[in-house]
Structure 1
C-alpha cells in the first residue's frame, strides 16, 4: 500500500465541518442525531481528498499519488477487506451500517484527480460530467442515509447538486484563476466564451463591460434553472431532511440573487451568505416555497 503525505486523522469530529465554507450544512442541528456521525465521516473523507487536490505545495505527481492511495482504500472497502488507515476503517463501518454506494465515493476521488490535471472545459457537456462526479455523489449519499434513494429523488438531487456546484464556480472565478501553479482553473465553457467574445485574459483583466455581464448572467440563469428544476425534492422529502434541503436550495437562491446584483463584478464582490440572509432562508424553507 502506498504511503500518504497527508497526516492521519484518527478521531472524526463534527467540528471539521466548520473549517471550510460549503454550500452543504454538514452535520447541522437539523440532521437526526443518529446520522451526524455518518455525515461527518463522509465530509472528512471528501474534505481531506479535496485538500490533497487543492491545498499546499505538493507536485502534480504527489497529489495524484496521494489520491490514488485514497482510492485504493475505497477499493479495499468495496472488496470487503479492512482498509489500513483509521479514517477509512471508520468509513467502512459507516458504509456497512447504511448500505452506502462505494461508487459515489470513488466518483468524488475521480473528480479530485481531474482537478489536479484538468484546468479548462471545452463545453457544457464536459462541465456537467465533472459535476456528476464532484457534486452529485454528495446528494446521492444523503438520499441513501435517509433511505430516500429513488430514481426520481436522484434526478432532483442531481439537479440541485450540479446547480450548487455551478453557483460555487461563479462565486470563485477570481479565486480559481490563482490555482494550479498560477495557470488558473477556469470552470467556464471555452466554446461559450469564444462565442461571446470573452478571452482568458479578459478574466485576468477583470473585464466588466456589457458583453461580460451578459455572458455572466447567462451562466447564472442556467444554474438557477437547474436549481429550480430540482426544487420539488425539498417538498417531496418529509421531516428534517426536507427542511434541510429546502434551506440548502434557499441558500443557493440567495447566492444567485447576489450574483445577479453584482453585475458580473465577482472580483470585488464575491457573494456569500451572512447573518442577515439566514432568517430569509429559514422562512422560505419553513413555508416550503
Structure 2
C-alpha cells in the first residue's frame, strides 16, 4: 500500500479478507489498465481517447447485462471486462464509480494544469474517491458518513501523491499545484523548472500539506468503524499518507531532491501509530 496513483488498492495485502481478494484484483486491473492507457507510453492523445472510448463502451455493456444477458468482449478487452462484469454482478456494485474513474482518465489526456483548488478537488472526486466508494460497497458500509469520510481519505491520499511527485509530474508535462496557489505565494512554474526551494515555496508546500492532513484526519473515524483487519488496513493507509506529509514538511517542501518514500522504518512507525489509535 503506497501512496501512489491507484496503489492504495490493498491488492496483495494479507489484511484483506480472502473472500474479497478476487474482487479487489478485478477492480484494480480495470483501474490500473485504464490509467496506463491515459498515462503510459508515447501514444497520441487521439489514440489514448479512442482506447478509453472502448473501455466506456465495454462498461456500457456491463450495465446492459441484467436485461440483455452476458456481453461479449473483444480479445483485447475480455481479460479486463469479463472478470470485472462477474465481480460487479456478484457483489452488486454500482457502476457509476467506474464511469467516474474513466472520466478522470480521459481528463488526464488533455488537462495538465488546474486553475484553482476546486478544480483539482473535482478531478480527485472522480480519479480517487470512486476507489474508496467501490471498496466500501464490497465491505457493506455505505452510509452517508462512511462515504464522506472515504472521499476525504481518498482525496487526501491523491493530494499527498501530487505533492510528493511535483518533480516527476513536471517531467511528464503536468503541474497539479493549482495556478492560484502558486500565484498566492508569488511563485510560478519556473520555481518547479529550476527546483527552487525558497521561503515562499516552503510556505506554499506547508499549506498544501496542512490542508491535505486535515482531509486525512477528517476521514480517520471511518477506519474505526470498519471491522477487524479491514479497519487496520485503512488505518495503515491513512498513516502512510500522513507519514508522506510529515516527510515533505521535514525537508521544507524540497521534493525535488528529497522525494519522500516509505521505507521499512516508516512502516514500523505507521503500524505502531495505527495500533495505538483508540
Q: Same fold (TM over 0.5)?
A: yes
Structure-2 separation of matches of 1:20 and 1:133? 13
TM-score, reference length from structure 1: 0.90
Alignment of 1:215-226 (within 5 A): 215-226=204-215
Shift of 1:21: 8.2
Query: What is the root-mean-square deviation of aligned Cα atoms in Å?
Result: 1.6
Cα contact 2:6–2:31 (8 A) shared by 1: no
TM-score, reference length from structure 2: 0.93
Change (3 A) 1:21 1:35: closer
Alignment of 1:1-289 (within 5 A): 22-80=7-65, 81-84=70-73, 85-179=78-172, 184-289=173-278
Structure-2 separation of matches of 1:123 and 1:21? 23
Following superposition, which runs of at least 4 residues in structure 1 exceed 6 angstroms of deviation?
none
- Number of residue pairs matched by the alignment: 268
SS in 2 for 1:276: helix
Shift of 1:150: 1.1
SS in 1 for 2:264: coil
Shift of 1:209: 0.5
Shift of 1:207: 1.2
Higher helix share: 2
Structure-2 separation of matches of 1:127 and 1:259? 20
Can you give the 5+ residue segments of structure 1 that lack an aligned partner in the other structure? Answer: 1-16
Cα contact 2:232–2:275 (8 A) shared by 1: yes
Offset from partner CA, 1:10-63 (integer Å, 9 cap, x none):
xxxxxxx9x988234323110110100100111111111111111111000000
Structure-2 separation of matches of 1:23 and 1:40? 12
Structure-1 separation of matches of 2:5 and 2:153? 20
SS in 2 for 1:177: helix
Change (3 A) 1:120 1:167: same
Structure-2 separation of matches of 1:126 and 1:272? 27
Cα contact 2:9–2:24 (8 A) shared by 1: no
